[in-house]
Homo-oligomer: A and B are copies of this chain.
Amino acid sequence: MGTIDRRTENVMEILPDTDTARDALEHVRRIELPAIFNHSMRTFILARAAAAATGEEIDLEALFVACLFHDSGTSAENDGPQRFEVEGADAAVRFLHHRGWSPERADSVWEAIALHTSPGIAERRGPIVRYTRLGVRIDFGVVDLLPREFVEATESDYARLDIEQVLRTAVVQQSLSRPEKAPFGSWPGALRSAYLAETNHDGSNPTR
């Protein structure tokens, strides 16, 4: 696979070496902004390390697909009418359906992606759901669970590229033309409200 570079080889070493994992990586790299792709790779590496630290058994291939696709609803390809978490969850399940995964196994990935922005709920579901959200939170510095040098190594391999602002902008941008993607009481809704409050509803610069 000529397109798999050194950093990816490192990741593939901790992955089941399957066509599904490699295809997921190439697919998500193709459709996502680099900052969001890098965040997704770090999320998997961190989630996997957190699971390993607790000794909890986990379906690593499902965890990889969940982490890789977790923000794929922000891509132009998946910019449908639903909130981005659900669009991303649906995209992952379509991907897995074509690869013959059972509905039950694919559902853990759906739930992990759909709930990754649901505080206090994702933490109470199965391991794929819980560790996907934990990986996201470690990467955003909200949870301090892993050695600092380990976290920094993921950022050295997969640069942050201002992910916080890039992700916020992507989610808010989608909601400007389709407010139904950011309902009251959702994470996209909270981002949209914060954005509109700051800009006094004039719709300019969603990156602020």
- What residues make up the interface of A, taking CB atoms closer than 8 Å to B? 82-83, 85-86, 114-115, 117-121, 124, 183-187, 189-191, 193
Contact = CB atoms under 8 A, between A and B. Distances in A.
Nearest to A185: B187
7 contacts: A83-B120, A83-B121, A86-B121, A114-B121, A114-B124, A120-B186, A184-B187
A189 B193 CA distance: 12
A117 B83 contact: no
Interface of A is mostly: loop
Nearest to A86: B120
Nearest to A180: B120
Given A118-B118, A189-B190, A193-B193, A86 B183 contact: no
Contacts of A187: 184-185
Contacts of A117: 185
Nearest to A186: B119
The interface centre, meaning the residue of A114, A118, A187 with most chain B CB atoms within 10 A of its CB, is: A118
A115 to B, nearest CB: 7
Contacts of A119: 83, 183-186
A183 B191 CA distance: 13
Nearest to A89: B124
B85 A121 contact: yes
Contacts of A191: 185
A151 B191 CA distance: 35
A83 B120 CA distance: 7
A187 B191 CA distance: 13
A82 B120 CA distance: 7
Nearest to A118: B118
Contacts of A118: 118, 121, 185-186
A124 B184 CA distance: 18
A113 to B, nearest CB: 10
A9 B166 CA distance: 56
Given A85-B121, A185-B191, A193-B193, 11 more contacts: A82-B120, A85-B120, A86-B121, A115-B121, A118-B185, A119-B185, A119-B186, A184-B187, A185-B186, A185-B187, A190-B190
